[in-house]
Amino acid sequence: MKKTHTIRLPHLGEGVESADVSEILVSPGDKINTDEPIVVLESDKASMEIPSDIKGTIQEVFIEKGKEIIAGDKIVSIVSEEPTENKAKEKEEEKQEETKNQTIEKHTAHTTTKKTEHTFRTSPSVRKLARELQISLSDVKGSGKKGRITREDLIYEIKDRMTKKGADREKQEIDYSQWGPVDFIPLSKVKKITGTRMESAWREVPQVTQFDKADISGLNTYRKKLNKENPTIKITFLPFLIKAVTKALIKFPDLNSSLSVDKKTLIHKRYYHIGVAVDTPGGLVVPVVKNTNKKDIIEISKELEDISRRSREKQLKPEELKGGTFTISSLGGIGGTYFSPIVNPPQVAILGVSKAKKEPVFSTSKNSFMPKDILPISLTYDHRVIDGAQAAVFTKYLGSVLLEFLQET
């Protein structure tokens, strides 16, 4: 049986005699559920929503936006679709609680700017459920009008938490000792930091590695000559690589760049600061050799000797680890043929260098194989910025620059 109910403005709390209608959320003909808001009121101390305690269809709206109303005034009439007597009592209790909450809010509104549970827009039943499940409403994203938290929003938050909890459970420590003896080795601070950076670089940067070989026979002869002329310093392959890479970066500025945060702009850097991966007992550190376009092989060699020693002695200043535009990771002193280094964001490329070896290379002019010093190089690049063809052209050009050192001998 259908029944018409009139919703009146309840008593708003101590000291609040009236309120202005700031928003009317329903119109005649609208279907409304219990707990759904009908109107938003603003008093001089607080903003509050008046929910319906009846499920039905709005028949008439008695209030006007901007007008003041007082307790007892008619708000709307609703034609109910089912008997509501049993539920009405329960709803009345919740309504009283809501009014109590609003009163608390009113009292705290001028005393603090911190949001309390009462300041979030939601229905009493959602508020009650959140309280029972010990979920703070500040953690729930409201999808309703003016950020109102609906029952579905709360359920979504609960599901989200349950999924996360499930994932955490999957990550639970495995008891490896069940299969044999184990030792627990705490990671060094540097290793932990490197791990986090590598993880995010791997996740965020779509990276590809281009492998190539460079003939460094001439460079090696020149290096030996320089070493003889400068007996107080040790000149390895690395300073030559730094110089050659710098020349290549000047020619291909995309590789000496960073992507803007909104990923819409490429920032070309017109300075050349090369990071060098140094293996230390505490883990990997990457000090930066600055302005490599303005330094010669001897200056870079001295600087490399100094920073690799201070890296191992943990004597680097934080400034010396910043500002790199490109990185070189050399495992040439150790061995291996090729490896794929990981891009060091916000840089967009990194060069991996492996151990040079004598290899037979066919000479068409001599129509025979000649022994050459061949350096394996691997360029890993951010594929959002650099295309495969660009990377291949870069490594080819780098090879030609390394070959040019032949002319210096």
What burial letters (b/e) apply to 377-409, b meaning 16+ CB within 10 Å?
Answer: bbbbbbeebbeeeebeebbeebbebbbebeeee
Residue 375: C-alpha distances to residues 179, 215, 226, 248, 296 (Å): 43, 6, 19, 17, 21
**What's the token pair of residue 270?**
């017109």
Indicate which single residue of 329, 347, 380, 395 sits in contact with ligand CAO (rule: CB under 6 A). Answer: 329
- Distance (Å, rounded) from C-alpha 78 to C-alpha 81? 9
- Position 147 contacts ligand CAO (CB under 6 A): no
Smaller CB separation from ligand CAO, 43 or 329: 329
Smaller CB separation from ligand CAO, 29 or 335: 335
- Distance (Å, rounded) from C-alpha 215 to C-alpha 339? 18
- Position 73 contacts ligand CAO (CB under 6 A): no
343, 381 in Cβ contact below 8 A? yes
- From 27-35, 99-107, 204-212, 351-359, give the range in contact with ligand CAO by CB under 6 A: 351-359
Residue 356: C-alpha distances to residues 215, 216, 279, 342 (Å): 9, 8, 19, 21
Indicate which single residue of 130, 276, 343, 398 sits in contact with ligand CAO (rule: CB under 6 A). Answer: 276
Residue 268 annotated to the active site: no
327, 344 in Cβ contact below 8 A? yes
User: Least CB distance from residue 185 to ligand CAO, whole Å?
Assistant: 18
Query: Of 311, 379, 314, 310, nearest to 342 (Cα)?
Result: 379
User: Least CB distance from residue 330 to ligand CAO, whole Å?
Assistant: 5
179-198 residues in contact with ligand CAO (CB under 6 A) are none
- Position 349 contacts ligand CAO (CB under 6 A): no
- Position 383 contacts ligand CAO (CB under 6 A): no
Match 């943990």 to its residue by tokens. 314
The vertex-186 CA angle with 182 and 192, nearest 5°, equals 130
- Position 355 contacts ligand CAO (CB under 6 A): yes
- Position 212 contacts ligand CAO (CB under 6 A): no
CA–centroid distance for 370 within its chain: 51
- From 79-87, 316-324, 353-361, 377-385, give the range in contact with ligand CAO by CB under 6 A: 353-361
- Residue 9 CB partners (closer than 8 Å, separation 6+): 19, 41, 50, 69, 70, 71, 72, 73, 75
Smaller CB separation from ligand CAO, 237 or 326: 237
User: Least CB distance from residue 373 to ligand CAO, whole Å?
Assistant: 8
Smaller CB separation from ligand CAO, 341 or 399: 341
Indicate which single residue of 80, 116, 209, 236 sits in contact with ligand CAO (rule: CB under 6 A). Answer: 236
CA diameter of the chain: 108
Smaller CB separation from ligand CAO, 278 or 343: 278
Smaller CB separation from ligand CAO, 316 or 375: 375
- Position 380 contacts ligand CAO (CB under 6 A): no
**What are residue 320's phi and psi, to 5 degrees?**
-75, -5
- From 130-138, 161-169, 246-254, 274-282, give the range in contact with ligand CAO by CB under 6 A: 274-282
Indicate which single residue of 147, 195, 323, 333 sits in contact with ligand CAO (rule: CB under 6 A). Answer: 333
Smaller CB separation from ligand CAO, 244 or 278: 278
Residue nearest to ligand CAO (CB): 332
- From 5-13, 75-83, 231-239, 378-386, give the range in contact with ligand CAO by CB under 6 A: 231-239
- Distance (Å, rounded) from C-alpha 106 to C-alpha 16? 9
Write the binding mask 238 to 267 for ligand CAO: x where contact by CB under 6 A, - elsewhere. x-----------------------------
214, 377 in Cβ contact below 8 A? yes
- Residue 182 CB partners (closer than 8 Å, separation 6+): 176
Is the N-terminal amide bond of 360 cis, ω within 30° of 0? no
- Position 277 contacts ligand CAO (CB under 6 A): yes
- Distance (Å, rounded) from C-alpha 109 to C-alpha 105? 6
The binding site for ligand CAO (CB under 6 A) comprises 236-238, 276-279, 284, 304, 308, 329-333, 341, 353, 355-356, 375
Catalytic residues: 383
